[in-house]
Amino acid sequence: EVQLVQSGAAVKKPGESLKISCKGSGYSFTTFYIGWVRQMPGKGLEWMGVIYPGGSDIRYSPSFQGQVTISAVKSISTAYLQWSSLRASDTAMYYCARLPGRDGRVLWADFWGQGTLVTVSS
Partner 1 sequence: DIQMTQSPSTLSASVGDRVTITCRASQGISNYLAWYQQKPGKAPRLLIYATSTLQSGVPSRFRGGGSGTDFTLTISSLQPEDVATYYCQEYNSALGTFGPGTTVDIK
Q: How far is the CB of 6 from partner 1 (least distance, A)?
A: 9
Q: Return residues touching partner 1 (CB under 8 A).
A: 37, 44-47, 49-50, 59-62, 95, 97, 105-115
Q: Give whichever of 6 and 78 is closer to partner 1, judged by the CB atom.
A: 6
Q: Give whichever of 16 and 57 is closer to partner 1, judged by the CB atom.
A: 57
| Distances in whole angstroms, Cα of residue 54 to Cα of each of 15, 29, 74, 76 | 32, 8, 7, 13
Q: Give whichever of 51 and 86 is closer to partner 1, judged by the CB atom.
A: 51
| Distances in whole angstroms, Cα of residue 27 to Cα of each of 23, 31, 32, 52, 98 | 11, 9, 9, 14, 10
